[in-house]
C-alpha cells in the first residue's frame, strides 16, 4: 500500500506521514503474521528555545527600546478566548513596568483577569455581523487609553486591534498562535499589512519579509 500526495491530495503533510507510517505498519504486520511490530515511534517534543517570561520580554524588547517614553508604556493586549488568550497571558509575563489593559470576549471572572480589562463582542468569518460592534468597542478602548503598543495573538478581533492601533499611532505587534503549524491563519496573513512587528512561533513559517521568528511563548 502506497500513500502519497496523489492518493490523498487534500491531506496535509503530517497527515500523509501518519498514513504512510500506518500503511508500513500494516504491511509489516501482514508479513510477520502474529509477531509484534514494536511500539510506535515517539512524537518529537517541541522545545521552546526561550523561557516564557523571556519570550514575552523578547517580543516587546525592540518596541520598548525604540520608544523610551518618560512614563510607563501603555499596552493594549487583545486576544480571543481559548488558546490565543492563554498565549497572550504568557506574553504578558514579559510586560515589566507597563500599564496593561487586557481585552477579550469573555467575562473577567471566567478568564481570571485581575488587571484592567475591557470586553468586546467576538466575531469570526462566520459571524461578520458582529464586526461593527467589535470595531466600535475596540476604537472606544483605544481612544480612552491611547496605547503606546497594541499586541495581539489573534484571532479576528486582534486584526481589528492592529488596524485601530495604527490609527491612534500605536506600535502594533502580532504574535501568530502556536496552533498555526502548517500555515498562518487568515487573520495572521492579513495582520502582516498592519503590524509593525509580525511574528510567528514556528521557525519554518518565518520569511525574510515576515513573519519573523523570535521564539515561542508556550
Distance CA 148, CA 74 (A): 5
Q: Is 12 found in the same domain as 30?
A: yes
Q: Is 85 found in the same domain as 41?
A: no
Non-local CB neighbours of 26 within 8 Å, separated by 6+ positions: 1
Q: How does pLDDT run across 84-136, given as a tens digit for each residue?
A: 998 998 888 777 788 899 999 988 888 888 788 999 999 988 899 999 999 99
Q: How does pLDDT run across 51-71, given as a tens digit for each residue?
A: 555 555 565 655 555 565 567
Number of domains composing the chain = 2
Give percent of the chain with pLDDT exceeding 70: 67
Q: Which residues pair with 101 in a beta bridge?
A: 76, 116
16 pLDDT band (50/70/90 cuts)?
Answer: low
Q: Residue 141 is part of which domain span?
A: 52-213
Distance CA 118, CA 111 (A): 12
Q: How does pLDDT run across 169-192, given as a tens digit for each residue?
A: 999 999 999 888 899 999 999 999
Q: Is 97 found in the same domain as 21?
A: no
Q: Could you tell me if residue 147 is inside a domain?
A: yes
Cα 141–Cα 146–Cα 209 angle in degrees, nearest 5: 95
DSSP state of 45: P
Report the predicted TM-score, pTM, of the whole model to 2 decimal places: 0.69
What 3-state DSSP class applies to 207?
coil
What 3-state DSSP class applies to 43?
coil
Q: Could you tell me if residue 218 is inside a domain?
A: no
Amino acid at each position: 500500500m502506497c500513500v502519497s500526495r496523489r492518493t490523498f491530495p487534500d491531506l496535509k503533510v503530517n497527515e500523509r506521514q501518519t498514513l504512510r507510517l500506518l500503511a508500513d505498519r500494516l504491511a509489516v504486520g501482514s508479513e510477520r503474521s502474529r509477531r509484534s511490530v514494536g511500539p510506535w515511534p515517539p512524537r518529537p517534543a517541541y522545545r521552546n528555545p526561550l523561557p516564557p517570561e523571556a519570550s514575552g520580554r523578547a517580543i516587546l524588547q525592540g518596541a520598548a527600546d525604540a520608544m523610551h517614553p518618560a512614563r510607563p508604556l501603555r499596552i493594549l493586549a487583545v486576544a480571543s478566548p481559548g488558546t490565543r488568550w492563554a498565549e497572550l497571558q504568557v506574553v504578558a509575563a514579559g510586560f515589566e513596568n507597563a500599564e496593561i489593559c487586557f481585552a477579550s470576549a469573555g467575562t473577567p471572572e471566567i478568564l481570571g483577569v485581575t488587571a484592567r480589562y475591557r470586553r468586546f463582542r467576538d466575531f469570526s468569518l462566520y459571524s461578520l455581523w458582529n464586526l461593527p460592534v467589535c470595531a466600535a468597542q475596540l476604537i472606544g478602548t483605544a481612544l480612552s487609553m491611547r496605547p503606546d503598543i497594541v499586541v495581539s495573538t489573534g484571532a479576528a478581533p486582534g486584526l481589528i486591534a492592529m488596524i485601530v492601533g495604527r490609527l491612534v499611532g500605536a506600535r502594533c505587534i502580532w504574535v501568530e498562535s502556536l496552533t498555526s503549524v502548517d500555515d498562518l491563519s487568515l487573520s495572521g496573513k492579513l495582520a502582516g499589512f498592519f503590524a509593525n512587528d509580525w511574528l510567528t512561533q514556528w521557525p519554518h513559517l518565518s520569511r525574510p519579509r515576515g513573519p519573523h521568528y523570535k521564539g515561542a511563548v508556550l
